[in-house]
């Protein structure tokens, strides 16, 4: 793939409206021409981080290059902002537009900050349903969405809220999930802005409920449609098994304006580890689904894991590429396989292995996608499953650099011993995971492998160029930059900058608390910043100390740290 970006070293900033118009024009034309400049895919709107994965192709690539291999060693702290409540740490990917940072911390507390100084401009703190104290997936959020003059929040009590982008005053709110009657199904990730429609994906796996994606009018706050991630089909879900079938789309989707499609990955079926009662393929769990954001109608789907009994969600990022005349969608699955699909119809182009430790199947057919040689999990008996229920990677996204042609992603090599058990389905049993096992499986190391890695790979073939091994796996998202750098942070709080070409560590900094978040980069007043959300928390923080005692007393935090290179 060739993506020779031809843009000025310091691209001229643009106001939100003009940027949006420019990007919309570029995408609608399927072109990368803007005046005399030619913008390669993923390089549009370079000074900002305007959406969850920065660009619509979900690359998490900042084209900024003021901070680069030669000066990254001189990175210094520019400002620090404490988020206050540290419950479950800080898990967000901040949004940065035209010199303003939009941040969300525990309890859905949102703030706008001056990106030069970290000084607060406004804050918004919604009053949450007290039931959020009891439910499993609370009170954290992975980000906000900004556009159309508003900041959109998907709340942990199942609402959508819009506040004014300049003032933080509430514009509208709408209750979307049946929060009290679905074991607390809610939103832990930001909505996707698809034109004038917002799409919200609910939590559902590990809950006695059925997942939904909601379409909402972004300006009026009116619900437009619901898409059920559990297919109404007795062949797929016998009896009433689909009623509590899980399958939530709990991570943000990718909106492709070129085809007016929003791509979502869906979660695992429930109960996670118990096959009995839900014989069938359990559509549309563990699938990539392509929806029309105007209507919520399904364009196509590709199920990656049929009849999953190992908790291998497909909720992760969907990257878009053009190669050899094909429009491709690359989608990592928690199972350790990466699926390369035709983005127009979901047809499989390739399936490759990210993990080196896989035993839940002997293989996945790279043409049909069928699972070959499944590992069954008998009730009441412990079975070692690889990868573990943490997956070959957690939800924290990788990043792609068009200059190197490499996709950078964290990897785990861990197994877990799963003992399935009968369990009643009770949508009001808020604090009990609906998983059909005593726990998520006792973690085990794999002989001959470090538990964690950062890999640099060709996203289409999986060919690996370099790897960086870790004694404790990373649970932070990756940032790639035009300066030839890759940023990632670990559970102990060490942030590293790697040489994108060979993986050499060029800089590191101890932030004082682990990373479960998305590092971003932006520029304001001609200066590039690296913004690091630091704050260990989440269920990973709870479960990992059993295998990694170093994390037993790992401190929590909810801190934004902005780095820059002094003149």
Partner 1 sequence: MTRTVVTLTGAMVFAGVAAAAGSDGNAIPDLNDPKVISAGRNVFLKRHCSHCHGANGDGGINLTKRDLTDPTYVFQAIAEGRERGSMRMPASRDVLSDEEIWLTTAYVMSIGLKSK
160 φ, ψ (degrees, to nearest 5)? -110, 135
Supply φ then ψ for residue 69, to 5 degrees: -60, -30
* Structural Rg of the chain based on CA atoms: 22
- Of the candidate residues 537, 559, 560, 561, the single one contacting partner 1 (CB under 8 A): 537
Which of 319, 557, 560, 565 binds partner 1 (CB under 8 A)? It is 557
Site string for partner 1, 46-85 (x = CB under 8 A): ----------------------------------------
536 belongs to the binding site for partner 1 (CB under 8 A):
yes
Q: 552: burial class by Cβ within 10 Å (0-12, 13-18, 19+)?
A: exposed
Q: Does 477 bind partner 1 (CB under 8 A)?
A: no
DSSP conformation class of 20: H
Given candidates 217, 439, 469, 501, which one binds partner 1 under the rule CB under 8 A?
Answer: 439
Between 1 and 136, whose beta carbon lies closer to partner 1? 136
Q: Of 137, 147, 222, 227, which is closest to residue 187 (Cα–Cα)? A: 137
Could you say whether residue 136 binds partner 1 (CB under 8 A)?
A: yes
From 429, 458, 499, 501, residue interacting with partner 1 (rule: CB under 8 A): 429
Task: For residue 30, give Cα distances in angstroms to 232, 294, 320, 354.
Answer: 36, 20, 13, 31
Chain Cα centroid distance, residue 105: 16
116-124, 272-280, 361-369, 550-558 -> range binding partner 1 (CB under 8 A) = 550-558
- The candidate with the shortest Cα–Cα distance to 437, out of 378, 503, 524, is 378
Per CB under 8 A, the list member of 86, 251, 460, 519 interacting with partner 1 is: 86
**Cα(530)–Cα(321) distance, integer angstroms:** 25
- The one among 63, 139, 253, 387 contacting partner 1 by CB under 8 A: 139
Nearest Cα residue to 105 out of 141, 137, 138, 79: 141
Of residues 106 through 125, those in contact with partner 1 by CB under 8 A are: none
Nearest distance in Å: CB 207, partner 1: 12
Cis peptide before 139 (omega within 30 of 0): yes
Closest CB to partner 1 among 62 and 534?
Answer: 534
Q: Is 458 part of the annotated catalytic residue set?
A: no
* Beta bridge mates, 130: none
Instruction: For strands 442-445 and 494-499, give the pairing.
Output: unpaired
Residue whose CB is less far from partner 1, 161 or 435: 435
Residue range at the interface with partner 1 (CB under 8 A); choices 230-238, 269-277, 392-400, 425-433 = 425-433
Give the alpha-carbon dihedral of 429, 434, 437, 442, to 10 degrees.
-100
Provide the H-helix boundaries in 362-450.
none
No. of helices (H) and no. of strands (E), the chain:
2, 40
Q: Which of 80, 92, 77, 60 is nearest to 516 (CA)?
A: 92
Nearer to partner 1, 87 or 259 (CB): 87
Tell me if 170 contacts partner 1 by CB under 8 A.
no
Shortest distance, CB of residue 236 to partner 1, whole angstroms?
Answer: 27
Task: Choose among 452, 447, 440: nearest CA to 491.
Answer: 452
Number of residues that bind partner 1 (CB under 8 A): 36
Binding test (CB under 8 A) with partner 1, winner from 144, 207, 412, 543 = 543
Q: What is the per-residue DSSP string for 266-281?
A: ---BSSTT--TT--S-
Residue 381 makes contact with partner 1 by CB under 8 A: no
**433 interacts with partner 1 by CB under 8 A:** yes
Minimal distance, residue 182 CB to partner 1, in Å: 15
- Residue 113 tokens, joined: 């900050």
What span, in angstroms and rounded, lies between the C-alpha atoms of 127 and 164? 17
214-228 core/surface letters (b: 16 or more CB in 10 A; e: else): bbbebeebebbbebe
The single-letter DSSP state of residue 243 is G
What backbone torsions phi and psi does residue 280 show, to the nearest 5 degrees? Answer: 135, 180
Our CB check for partner 1 shows the closer of 322 and 442 to be: 442
CB-nearer residue toward partner 1: 23 or 554: 554
**Is 89 near partner 1 (CB under 8 A)?**
yes
Least Cβ distance, residue 543 to partner 1 (angstroms): 4
Residue 140 beta carbon to partner 1: minimum distance, rounded to whole angstroms: 9
Candidate list 157, 311, 313, 455, residue with the active-site label: 311
Residue from the set 117, 238, 542, 550 that interacts with partner 1 by CB under 8 A: 542
CB nearer to partner 1: give 105 or 488: 105
Residue 347 Cβ vs partner 1, minimum distance, rounded to whole Å: 38
- Give the interface segment with partner 1, choosing from 135-143, 355-363, 495-503, 519-527 (CB under 8 A): 135-143
Any idea which residues carry the catalytic annotation? 311
Query: Which positions touch partner 1 (CB under 8 A)?
Result: 86-89, 133-136, 138-139, 428-433, 435, 438-440, 442, 535-537, 539, 541-546, 552, 555-558
């Amino acid at each position: 793939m060739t993506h020779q970006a031809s843009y000025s070293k310091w691209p001229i900033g643009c106001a939100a409206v003009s940027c949006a118009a420019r990007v919309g024009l570029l995408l609608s034309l399927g072109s990368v021409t803007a005046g005399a400049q030619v913008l390669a895919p993923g390089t549009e709107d370079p000074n900002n981080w305007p959406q969850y994965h920065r660009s619509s192709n979900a690359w998490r690539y900042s084209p900024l290059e003021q901070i680069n291999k030669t000066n990254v060693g001189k990175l210094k702290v520019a400002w620090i902002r404490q988020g206050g409540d540290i419950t479950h740490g800080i898990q967000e990917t901040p949004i940065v537009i035209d010199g303003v940072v939009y941040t969300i911390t525990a309890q859905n507390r949102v703030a706008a900050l001056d990106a030069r100084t970290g000084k607060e401009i406004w804050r918004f703190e919604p009053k949450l349903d007290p039931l959020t104290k009891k439910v499993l997936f609370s009170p954290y959020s992975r980000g906000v969405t900004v556009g159309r003059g508003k900041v959109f929040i998907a709340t942990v009590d199942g609402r959508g809220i819009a506040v004014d982008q300049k003032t933080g005053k509430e514009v509208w709110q709408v209750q979307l999930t049946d929060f009290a009657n679905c074991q607390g199904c809610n939103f832990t990730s930001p909505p996707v802005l698809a034109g004038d429609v917002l799409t919200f994906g609910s939590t559902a796996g590990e809950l006695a409920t059925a997942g939904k994606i909601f379409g909402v009018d972004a300006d009026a706050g009116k619900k437009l449609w619901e898409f059920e991630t559990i297919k109404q089909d007795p062949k797929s879900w016998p009896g009433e098994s689909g009623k509590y079938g899980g399958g939530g789309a709990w991570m943000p989707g990718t909106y492709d304006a070129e085809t007016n499609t929003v791509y979502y990955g869906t979660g695992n079926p429930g109960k996670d580890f118990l096959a009995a009662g839900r014989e069938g393929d359990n559509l549309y769990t563990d699938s990539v689904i392509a929806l029309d954001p105007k209507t919520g109608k399904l364009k196509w789907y590709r199920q990656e894991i049929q009849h999953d009994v190992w908790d291998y969600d497909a909720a992760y990022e969907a990257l878009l590429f053009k190669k050899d005349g094909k429009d491709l969608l690359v989608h990592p699955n928690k199972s350790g396989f990466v699926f390369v699909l035709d983005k127009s119809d979901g047809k499989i182009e390739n399936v490759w292995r990210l993990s080196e430790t896989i035993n839940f199947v002997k293989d996945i057919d790279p043409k049909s996608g069928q699972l070959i040689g499944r590992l069954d999990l008998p009730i009441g008996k412990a079975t070692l499953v690889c990868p573990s229920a943490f997956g070959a990677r957690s939800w924290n996204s990788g990043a792609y650099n068009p200059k190197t042609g490499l996709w950078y992603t964290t990897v785990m090599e861990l197994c877990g011993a799963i003992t399935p058990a009968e369990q009643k389905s009770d949508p009001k049993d808020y604090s009990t995971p609906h998983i059909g096992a005593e726990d998520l499986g006792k973690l085990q190391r794999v002989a001959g492998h470090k538990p964690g890695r950062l890999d640099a790979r060709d996203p289409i073939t999986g060919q690996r160029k370099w790897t960086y091994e870790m004694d404790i796996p990373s649970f932070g998202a990756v940032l790639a930059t035009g300066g030839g750098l890759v940023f990632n942070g670990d559970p102990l709080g060490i942030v590293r900058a790697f040489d994108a070409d060979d993986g050499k560590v060029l800089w590191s900094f101890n932030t004082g608390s682990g990373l479960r978040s998305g590092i971003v980069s932006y520029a304001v007043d001609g200066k590039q910043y690296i913004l690091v959300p630091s704050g260990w928390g989440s269920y990973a923080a709870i479960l990992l100390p059993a295998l990694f005692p170093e994390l037993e007393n790992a401190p929590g935090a909810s801190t934004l740290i902005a780095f820059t290179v002094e003149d």
